[in-house]
Amino acid sequence: FSSVEVTQHYLDRIARLDKTYNSYITTTPALALAQASAADKRLAAGNAPALCGVPIAHKDIFCTIGVRTSCASKMLDNFIAPYNATIVENYLDSGVVMLGKTNMDEFAMGSSNETSYYGPVKNPWATDCVPGGSSGGSAAAVAAHLAPAATASDTGGSIRQPAAHCGLTGIKPTYGRVSRWGMIAFASSLDQAGILSRTAEDAAILLNDMASYDTKDSTSVDREVPDYTATLNDSLKGLRIGVPKEYFGEGLNPQTAAHVEAAIKVYESLGATIHSISLPHTNLSVPAYYVIAPAECSANLSRMDGVRYGHRCENPKDLNDLYMRSRSEGFGDEVKRRILVGAYALSAGYYDAYYSKAQKVRRLIKQDFVDAFQSVDVILGPTSPSPAFQFGSKSKDPVAMYLEDIYTIATNLAGLPGLSIPCGFVDSKPVGLQLIGNFFAEAQLLNAAHQFQ
């Protein structure tokens, strides 16, 4: 098939089916076909990169020249970025075709895709259920075959949890492995871009081009990008897998736990050795995250003030009125909740009690992993406590929603890579298995995932 044919196939499916799923905020058919036909010329000339001509979707958190980048917020409904995110640019260099921009929770704050200004996304496996979040649009698009793969971002679980709920492979690389330049910041010390795809092999091919050292991102790490496909077929004989006892406690759905335990048996049969480990500060990761992430978001989102770009209120009386009304009208409830919590935690009188304390807890959480990786190579557990839940069932209770990420958040606090792969079904809904690796051990994680698949 030519790239134009493949691209047209996906565009036709999107036009026919996405009314149901709402996985895209913006589609770019004319641009996609122009990129596809340019890719076909490169392919005909020979020596084209591996991904040349492959269509993918980008989460609407990545800036794209000439195409709206909304972050699923009314605030940026009219925003057209004057530059491309580095990862968008990397894929353009490889001849990758962009099908459009996918739906998400507003500013990536959420676990259900219910906070989007453009409406919720439906889980293709069960349309009365959420696809997970915040990268719910990217996950639903791939699960419904409206894109072969999609980019996504993960601040506390936003790639791995939707991967689990939509039966996909999702990888969050090590902090600093992928450039954050042009990815609209939520919590800068936690945000990392990654991939949602059907298989670990697809994720490996896509990560090869997504990862790069970027001088435009001061936290980007200058380290060679290995060929992640080269080690996919390595044997797992002798791989030491740690199973943290804290990841199997109260709150874990017993059927989800049974699938994860069955996966452990599969790994044993592949030659891995299983070790019970402890990550003693696990129960502090959600509270620490919900101080640090809102604190950083309150600072990052202060740039959205109605002056420079984005939503501006009608007829402001004065500057204060302009700020207040533009922000009140532009941001949704969850975003406002985070800004309030974050501004409070950072305020002079409370900084030591909350923010500084949370940073110390973060250090302990990271140390748990550093200690564990002295004796194991990979850590294994569930991705989410239970399968996809029904719309509305957690949206009125922020704490219940925040606990969705109980197994994924610590990875971001520590900066480690994590991945989710499908490992079974509960009530016809997919279950995710999480693998956490040591710093920059993406190749090992993808190898372990590929052998399982």
In angstroms, give the least distance from the CB of 114 to ligand GLN. Answer: 11
- CA separation for the pair 177, 179 (Å, rounded): 7
In angstroms, give the least distance from the CB of 294 to ligand GLN. Answer: 8
- DSSP summary character for residue 450: H
Q: Which residues pair with 375 in a beta bridge?
A: none
Only one of the segments 105-113, 117-125, 264-272, 360-368 lies at the binding site for ligand GLN (rule: CB under 6 A); that segment is: 105-113
26 binds ligand GLN (CB under 6 A): no
- CA separation for the pair 336, 344 (Å, rounded): 12
Only one of the segments 78-86, 151-159, 207-215, 391-399 lies at the binding site for ligand GLN (rule: CB under 6 A); that segment is: 151-159
E strand spans, 284-428: 378-382, 418-426
301 binds ligand GLN (CB under 6 A): no
Q: 333-346 and 285-300 helices cross at what angle (nearest 10)?
A: 100
158 binds ligand GLN (CB under 6 A): yes
H helix runs in 128-272, sequence order:
136-143, 160-166, 200-210, 254-269
In angstroms, give the least distance from the CB of 289 to ligand GLN. Answer: 7
Which of 73, 94, 116, 134 is the catalytic position? 134
156 binds ligand GLN (CB under 6 A): yes
Q: SS3 helix, strand, coil % of the chain, rounded to 5?
A: 40, 15, 40
Only one of the segments 24-32, 150-158, 208-216, 259-267 lies at the binding site for ligand GLN (rule: CB under 6 A); that segment is: 150-158
- CB atoms inside a 10 Å sphere around CB 402: 18
| Structure tokens, 62 | 């990545």
State how far Cα 220 lies from the chain centre. Answer: 18
Question: Cβ distance 61 to 159 under 8 Å?
Answer: no
By CB under 6 A, the residues from 394 to 423 that bind ligand GLN are: 405
Which lies closer to ligand GLN via its Cβ, residue 138 or residue 179? 138
Which of 3, 59, 116, 384 is the catalytic position? 59
> What Å distances lie between residue 256 and 135, 252, 253, 388, CA to CA?
22, 7, 5, 11
111 binds ligand GLN (CB under 6 A): yes
Which lies closer to ligand GLN via its Cβ, residue 106 or residue 201? 106
Only one of the segments 153-161, 254-262, 280-288, 378-386 lies at the binding site for ligand GLN (rule: CB under 6 A); that segment is: 153-161
Active site residue 158: yes
120 binds ligand GLN (CB under 6 A): no
Would you please indicate which residues are annotated as catalytic (active-site) residues? 59, 134, 158
Binding site for ligand GLN (CB under 6 A): 108-111, 134, 154-158, 186, 293, 405
